[in-house]
Amino acid sequence: MTICIGALCTDQAAGDTVVLASDRMVTWIGTQFEHPVPKIHIVCPTAQVLIAGDALAGEDIIRRARAQLAGAPVAVSNAADAVARSYGDERMARAEAQILRTRGLTLAQYYQMHQQLVPQITAGLDTALAGFDLGVELIVAGVDEAGGHLHTVLNPGAIQVCHDLIGYIAVGSGGIHALQSMIGFQHSPSHSLPQTVFQVLTSKQRAEVAPGVGRETDLIVIGRDGPRSLAPGSLERLDELCARTAREANAAVQQQAAGLRLEFEAINSETGSVEESARRDGKS
């Protein structure tokens, strides 16, 4: 998988700007490698899509959505709806190809013959179709007249979820690590742009401990004037600041932990109860 993160922040007004970050790790035919193509894609003038998971399937979803949107600068929620419909269509097309066509059936033929098939076969095919996982997680993000917005589209598609109230979201194998980091920062859309860029990049670095997450980083900012990419020099300096902050914070905490004065209560080996009178100091 991978890591994709989105967060709302404040440039001029609360929640008017979106910060997006992703890695560049790709898994293809059993091999993981850093790929030069970013995972952040334009779907229409007002919205970008970040792909976690199967990159080829994700690209096909985006192509479908672009065709639906036809380059119109729609509201971000409408773009997310188009991506969700495209996800559902792509998933069903692939499920039909892999599950039904190998048995000489199309989806239309399967539904027409539903009652004629052996019940066990029908149940098995229904289960396979319902459980078909495209292996793709998407973030749809952008800025429209109402401000910045964050949406996700997950398997099986067809619906999208808005995350504007929380103000951030992450998907991919490193998603839980990034979310825990953003929770720790107590992030909200009222945080400033520089503060949010630091928090998002730090969260991306913390997600690198997850399997399938690469160290290369793409980071863009979307505001009223459209998307901007952080200059390589600025990204390198910020990347080092995030790494140094993590190292120094970890060293400081470890030093404090080493100096803790602990007290212990003895446990009776026969009863398992604590003998409160037998107390010893951890520094003795």
Please report the sign of the dihedral spanned by the C-alpha atoms of residue 168, residue 173, residue 174, residue 180.
positive
Give me the sheet containing 226-229, strands edge to edge: 168-171, 4-9, 17-22, 218-223, 226-229
Average pLDDT over residues 270-276: 73
117-145, pLDDT tens digit by residue? Answer: 888 988 999 999 999 999 999 999 999 99
Smallest CA-to-CA distance from 22 within 239, 161, 171, 165 is with: 171
Radius of gyration of the chain (CA): 24
Please report the sign of the dihedral spanned by the C-alpha atoms of residue 279, residue 282, residue 283, residue 284.
positive
What is this structure's pTM?
0.87
Torsion, CA 230, CA 232, CA 237, CA 243, rounded to 10? 90
Of the chain, the percentage scoring pLDDT greater than 90 comes to 71
Q: How many C-beta atoms lie closer than 10 Å to residue 12's C-beta?
A: 9
Give the separation between CA 139 and CA 118, rounded to whole angstroms: 41
pLDDT band (50, 70, 90) for residue 278: very low
Smallest CA-to-CA distance from 125 within 112, 138, 142, 107 is with: 107
User: In the chain, how many H helices and how many E strands?
Assistant: 7, 14
pLDDT band (50, 70, 90) for residue 67: very high
Give the separation between CA 171 and CA 178, rounded to whole angstroms: 9
Q: Which residues fall within 8 angstroms of residue 75, CB to CB, at 6 or more apart?
A: 46, 144, 145, 146
pLDDT band (50, 70, 90) for residue 227: very high
Q: Which amino acid is at 218?
A: D
Domains of the chain, each with CATH number or no CATH: 4-230 (3.60.20.10), 242-281 (no CATH)
201-210, pLDDT tens digit by residue? Answer: 999 999 999 9
